[in-house]
Amino acid sequence: MSSAYLIGAQRRTGAASFTGIEAATGKALDGDFAITTADDIAQACALAGAAFDAYRETTPEARAAFLDAIAAALEARAEAIVARAMLESGLPQGRLNGELGRTTGQLRLFAKVLREGDWAGAIIEPALPERQPLPRPDLRARQIAVGPVAVFGASNFPLAFSVAGGDTASALAAGCPVVVKAHPAHPGTSLLAGEAIAEAVAACGLPEGVFSLIQGPGNDIGTALVANPHIKAVGFTGSRGGGLALIAVAASRLEPIPVYAEMSSINPVLLFPAALAARAEDLGRAYVGSLSLFAGQFCTNPGVVVALDSPDLDRFLGAASEALKGVAPQVMLTGGIAAAYARGIETLSGADGVAVLAAGPDGDAQCGAARLLAVDADDLLSNPALTHEVFGPSSLVIRCKDAEQIVAVLEGLEGQLTATLHIDEADYPLAAPLLPILERKVGRILANGWPTGVEVSRSMVHGGPFPATSDPRTTSVGAMAIHRFLRPVCYQALPDALLPDALKAGNPLGLPRRQFD
């Protein structure tokens, strides 16, 4: 008997199944997982549609309690979830324990956001019947949920960007039912997390269509999910090709819908002269630690470094090269990702003007070996493809002749999630003119750190211009992520009895409201 997927409160098993794969060996794990049928995908979406109006009008406190209940249910399954995720992802126990904590933490953050109430965007402009030359009617506005959301699990975060991750948490907080397409590399992890959410749905007395989990390899399941007319928005973290394919499906519907896709980023790091002069070796070692962390499988991995050519840059590269030679090969998330990384390194290292400065030891086919490469800005500017993402533990250092060439390199980059400045006070005059360029190119600018840590907070922006994301106005991490799944509605001259509670005269929900004369 194959393991079930979750269609609302119902556990279903299909005739076809697939197996989980152990990331470290490439071998099949015990247990089969049922592939969701087309009929069950349609039923999951229909249940979500049927649940929508009731769920979106639950009180903020009820939804907050639901998110808290999911977090508690995940923690009750922590040992089993982490054990299975270790097998399916190849990530170590400590990393996955931390990721589970991040997952429950962001669920509880959105519970706090709901209780604070600013997300509702309640605005009241009372009627001005005596205003000249025309009276003003009573006008009130609030944010409401957009509808059922399709969420796609990510390969590199089997917990925090997957079944119970940030897209699911923010959509549920907004009042949107969610249908999750589990990543096929994590079927067991996904089912355990999905069961935790289903348990919370039942415990909180919510409609069963608030959550469903569908499973299976290939593209057909995801395409059918996004094409279903009940689905009103999509959350996706993955490759540029995968994101663009879903965007095409969503745009071709009779009712096109938004796809909030986080896709591709190389996260430039700028090294400034005074900072290099003061601590080149320390920066080189820290850089290798960031680019190789967990086999470089982060969307914020520092994929390129930009700096003026100088003896201090040589010091940085010498320290980085020595550090990188000691980076052991690490298991990558899937065999496909490992193979794509190997192809990307082969293409990049064979390009004109690119030199391999250092290489970590090679491993087996499931592993990614660290690589440090360098190129002169002249060669890079004549071949922009050199800045395409290679997902894994590698990075390219770009040597620039002068400040004008740094500007040219930055202007030629695509949209990114992050940019990092390593600066001392003496570098401020050189750095200041670059900030407007970086603001146009990235979603987060940081100084004297490394981009591979993303705080889950109210001010965090984990987004950026295309192809970092499909909509640069949004973030997939932090409290502002809820706004992807809300839209404004204005109520003109409605009697108080017909207004939603968020806008009634007595403010029964106790929401913060902006009132204008």
Would you please indicate which residues are annotated as catalytic (active-site) residues?
A: 262, 299
Structure tokens at 218: 């290939």
Place of tokens 């096929």: 184
| Rounded (10°) CA dihedral 409, 413, 415, 421 | -30
Residue/partner pairs of 11-19 with CB below 8 Å, 24 or more apart: 12/36, 12/37, 12/40, 14/40, 16/216, 18/184, 18/187, 18/215, 18/216, 18/217, 19/187
Six token digits for residue 133: 């030359």
The rounded distance, in Å, linking the Cα atoms of 252 and 513 is 38
- Evaluated on CA atoms 252, 253, 256, 259, the torsion sign reads negative
Contact (Cβ atoms closer than 8 angstroms) between residue 373 and residue 399: no
Q: Is the backbone of residue 135 left (phi > 0), alpha (psi -120 to 50) or beta? A: beta
**CA dist 435 → 32, 440, 445 (Å):** 52, 9, 9
Give me the residue label for tokens 């106790």.
510
What secondary structure does DSSP assign to 89-107, as a single string? Answer: H---HHHHHHHHHHHHHHH
Which of 384, 343, 390 lies closest to 240 in space, CA to CA?
Answer: 390
The answer to whether the beta carbons of residues 276 and 315 sit under 8 Å apart is: yes
The answer to whether 354 touches 272, Cβ cutoff 8 Å, is: no
Q: What distance in Å separates the CA atoms of residue 397 and residue 324, rounded to the nearest whole number? A: 14
Q: What is d(CA 515, CA 3) in angstroms, rounded to the nearest whole number? A: 53
CA distances from 433 to 1, 108, 149, 308, 422 (A): 63, 40, 41, 16, 15
What residues contact residue 240 under an 8 Å CB cut-off, 6+ apart? 263, 264, 389, 467
Q: Phi and psi dihedrals of 515, rounded to 5?
A: -120, 135
Q: For residues 6 and 198, is the Cβ–Cβ distance under 8 A?
A: yes
* Cβ atoms 375, 397 nearer than 8 A: yes
DSSP 231-290: --EEEEES-HHHHHHHHHHHHHSSS---EEEE------EEE-HHHHHHHHHHHHHHHHHH
CA distance linking residue 69 with residue 81, whole number of Å: 17
